[in-house]
Amino acid sequence: MAGKGGVGKSVCSAATGLWASQQGKKTLAFSMDPAHSLSDLLEVDIGNRPVSIGENFDAVEPDLRAEAEKFYASYRSLFRALFEMFQFEVRPEDFGVVPGVGELIFMDRLYDVYMEGKYDVVVIDSAPTALVLPLLKLPDVTTGVVTRLLGMKSRWTGIFNMLEPGFGDSVVKEVRRLRTKAETMRNAIIDPEATTISVVLIPEKAAVLESERLISTVEAHGVSVNSIIVNHVMEACDCDYCRRKAASQKGYIDEIKAKFGDKKQIALLPSYSEEVKGEGLGQVARDLYEKGQLKL
Ligand SMILES: Nc1ncnc2c1ncn2[C@@H]1O[C@H](COP(=O)(O)OP(=O)(O)OP(=O)(O)O)[C@@H](O)[C@H]1O
Ligand SMILES: [Mg+2]
Predicted confidence band of residue 180 (pLDDT cuts 50, 70, 90): confident
pLDDT surpassing 90 at residue 120: yes
Please say if the pLDDT value at position 16 is more than 90: yes
Look at the chain and report how many structural domains it folds into. Answer: 1
Asked if residue 1 is part of any domain, the answer here is no
**Structure confidence at residue 228 (pLDDT):** 96
How far, in Å, is the centroid of ligand 2 from the Cα of 183?
A: 27
- Start-to-end CA span in the chain (Å): 13
Name the more confident of 262 and 146: 262
The domain spanning residue 166 has which CATH number? 3.40.50.300
Mean pLDDT across the stretch 91-107?
Answer: 75
What is the average per-residue pLDDT within 19-32?
A: 97
Output the pLDDT for position 133. 65
**Ligand 1: which of 276, 279, 287, 293 to mutate, most ligand atoms within 8 Å of CB?**
276
pLDDT for 111 beyond 90: yes
CA distance 76 to 213: 37
The predicted pLDDT at position 292 comes to: 85
Question: CA-CA distance, 273 to 270, in Å (whole number)?
Answer: 9
Compute the average pLDDT of residues 157-179.
Answer: 84
Within 10 angstroms of residue 222's Cβ, the number of other Cβ atoms is: 12
Q: Does residue 59 have a pLDDT over 80?
A: yes
d(CA 88, ligand 2 centre) in Å: 33
For residue 158, CA distances in Å to 102, 144, 145, 199 come to: 30, 22, 19, 47
For residues 115-121, average pLDDT: 97
Q: Is residue 295 part of a domain?
A: no
Looking at the predicted structure, is the pLDDT value of residue 192 above 90? Answer: no
Mean pLDDT of the chain: 87
Residue 285 CA to ligand 2 center (angstroms) comes to 16
Share of the chain above pLDDT 70, in %: 88
CA distance 197 to 189: 9
41 CA to centre of ligand 1 in angstroms? 9
Q: How confident is the model at residue 125 (pLDDT cuts 50, 70, 90)?
A: very high
Q: Within a domain: residue 296?
A: no
Look up the domain containing 85 and give its range: 9-290
Task: Judge whether 2 lies within some domain.
Answer: no
Q: Decide: 120 and 27 in contact? Cβ < 8 Å.
A: yes
CA 55/CA 83 separation, integer angstroms: 46
217-270 pLDDT, tens per residue?
Answer: 888 888 889 999 999 999 878 899 889 999 999 999 999 999 999 999 999 999
The pTM score is 0.90
Exposed/middle/buried for residue 191 (C-beta within 10 Å: 0-12, 13-18, 19+): exposed
- Per-residue pLDDT at 131: 59
What is the dihedral sign for C-alpha 129, 35, 56, 288? negative
Range of weakest confidence among 72-76, 82-86, 121-125, 212-216: 82-86
Domain contains 197: yes
Percentage of the chain exceeding pLDDT 90? 48
Residue 262 lies in a domain: yes
Atom of ligand 1 nearest to the CA of 270: 1
> What band does 183 get if pLDDT is binned at 50, 70 and 90?
confident
The pLDDT score that the predictor gives to residue 222 is 82
**Would 209 be classed as within a structural domain?**
yes
> Does residue 104 form part of some domain?
yes
The CA distance from 248 to 264, in Å, is 22
CA distance to 41, 118, 212, 246, per residue, from 26 (Å): 20, 8, 32, 39
